[in-house]
Amino acid sequence: MPHSVSKRIAAARPLATTAMHERVDLLKQRGEAVIDFSIAISHFPAPAPVRAAVRAALDEPLLPYTAVGGLPALRDGLARKLRAENGIDAQAQHVIVTNGAKQALYQTLYVMTDPGDAVIVMRPHWPAYVATAQLLGLRVELVDQPDVIDAAFLDGLPRAKVLVVNNPHNPTGRVYTPAELDAIRAWLRARGTACIVDESYEKLVFDGAHHSLAACPDWQALGIATIFSASQSYAMMGWRAGFACAPAAWIRAMEALQGPITAAVPALTQAAAAAAFAIGAVPDLLADYRARRDLVVDLFAPVPWIAVASPASGPYLWGDISALTLDTTAFAERLIEEYRVAIMPGEALGCPGFIRLGYIADDEATLRRGVAAIIALGDRMAAAGAAGREADPCRA
C-alpha cells in the first residue's frame, strides 16, 4: 500500500505565483516562445559590487560553515544599514540572515504565533502570507486594504496575534505615508498586537519616500519584525538573500528554528548580501523601471475595460478588469493558451477582477507585444459580451 503524506501538508497547494512560472518554464523547454508577466524577473544583472564580492569570496581558500544567523561582520553591517537608512535602532543581535524573504516570513510567523492564533492579512496580498500562515496552522483574517490606513479602519480590525503589513506594497505599489505608519504604531500600542512588516521593495520607490514602521524608539516593545530582501531592489532573484530585524528574543528563536532546517545561508550568498545592502538604491535600475512603468500605463490608458493606476513603487502593475470579467483565473488561462502570455490572476492575491503584471523582465519590444496580447484578448471578450447583450431577448 502506498504511504500517504502527512495531514499537515496534505491540504497545501503550490503557490499560484510559482506554479504559473513553472508552467511557463515547461512551455519554454518545449521550444515555445512565452512572455512571462506572472512574476517579476529583472533584465538587469546583479550590481557590479555584488558580482565582484562573490568573485573575491571564490578566491578564498576555504568557505566554511558560518554562524546560523549569519557572519558577525554581515550582521553588524546590516544593523548599521538599518540605523542609517531606515531609522531603526538595531544592533547585530536584532538581525538574522535568511534564504530570501520567504524564509524570514516563515520563521518570524513561527516564533511569534502558536497554531490556532489569528493573523490579519490585507487584500490584495502577496500569496505567501496566506500560504505560510496556513502551513503553520494559523487562522487568517482577510480584510480589504482601504485607501487610507487610519484609526477608524484599524479599530475595526478583528482581534489577532499578528498584523501583516507590506510596505511598499505588492501588488498595488502603494507606499504608506508617515501618518499611516503613526496610526499603525498607535494601534499596536493600544491593542497589543504584534506586527510583521515586509519592506522587500524599499529601494524600488518611484514617487514619494519609504519609511520603516520600526523607526520608533519602542519598536521592540511593540513587537515589530521587519523583513528585507535583495531580490527585487538589487535584481538578485535567484541569489536568495534576505534578512529579518526583530527583538533579540525572537531572533534567538529564529536561529534555533533555522539551525536544523537550513543552518546558515550559503557563504557566497552572505558575501553577495553584504555587498548589496551596502549599495543603497540603484539609480539606473530605478530609472529603467520607471520608464517601463510609464510606458505600460500609457499603453493601457485608452482601453475602456481596464484601469491601471501608476504605482508609486515596485515591479508590478495592478490592473482592474472587473468591467470585463471577475473571473481573472479564466482570463489568465485563455491568455497563456491562446497568446502564450502569462499573468497572475487576482484570485491568487485575494481579489477577483484584477490582474497583476510583472513588467521588468523583457526588452521594450517584447513588453509591448505582451501588452498588445492582453488588450487583444480583452477586446475580443468585450466585443463578444456586447454582442451577447444585444442578442439577449430578456434585456429591455
Task: Dump pLDDT digits (tens) for 9-20.
Answer: 888 887 777 778
Model confidence band, residue 329 (pLDDT cutoffs 50, 70, 90): very high
Give me the long-range contacts of 215-220 (CB less than 8 A, separation at least 24).
Answer: 215/86, 215/87, 215/88, 216/185, 217/89, 218/189, 219/88, 219/89, 220/94, 220/247, 220/248
What pLDDT, on a 0 to 100 scale, did the predictor assign at position 142? 98
- CA 96, 101, 106, 110 dihedral sign is positive
Cα–Cα distance for residue pair 334/341, rounded to 1 Å? 9
Percent of all residues in the chain with a pLDDT value above 70, rounded to a whole number: 97
C-alpha cell at 352: 477577483
Model confidence at 207: pLDDT above 50:
yes
C-alpha cell at 259: 539551525
Across the strands, what pairs with 242? Answer: 98, 229
Which of 212, 214, 261, 230 is CA-nearest to residue 74? 230
Cα–Cα distance for residue pair 159/194, rounded to 1 Å? 11
Cα–Cα distance for residue pair 329/347, rounded to 1 Å? 7
Q: Phi and psi of 149, rounded to 5°?
A: -85, 115
pTM over cut 0.75: yes
CA atoms within 13 A on the CB side of 140: 21
Print burial letters for 55-90: b (CB count within 10 Å at least 16), e (below 16).
Answer: eebeeeeeeeebebbbbeebbebbbebbeebbebbb
Which of 217, 213, 212, 215 is CA-nearest to residue 202? 212
Question: What is the CA angle 246-248-251, rounded to 5?
Answer: 65
Q: What is the DSSP letter of 11?
A: T
pLDDT in tens, 223-250: 999 999 999 999 999 999 999 999 999 9
Least confident of 110-114, 165-169, 242-246, 389-393: 389-393
Is residue 253 within 8 A of residue 263, CB to CB? The reply is no
Model confidence band, residue 1 (pLDDT cutoffs 50, 70, 90): low
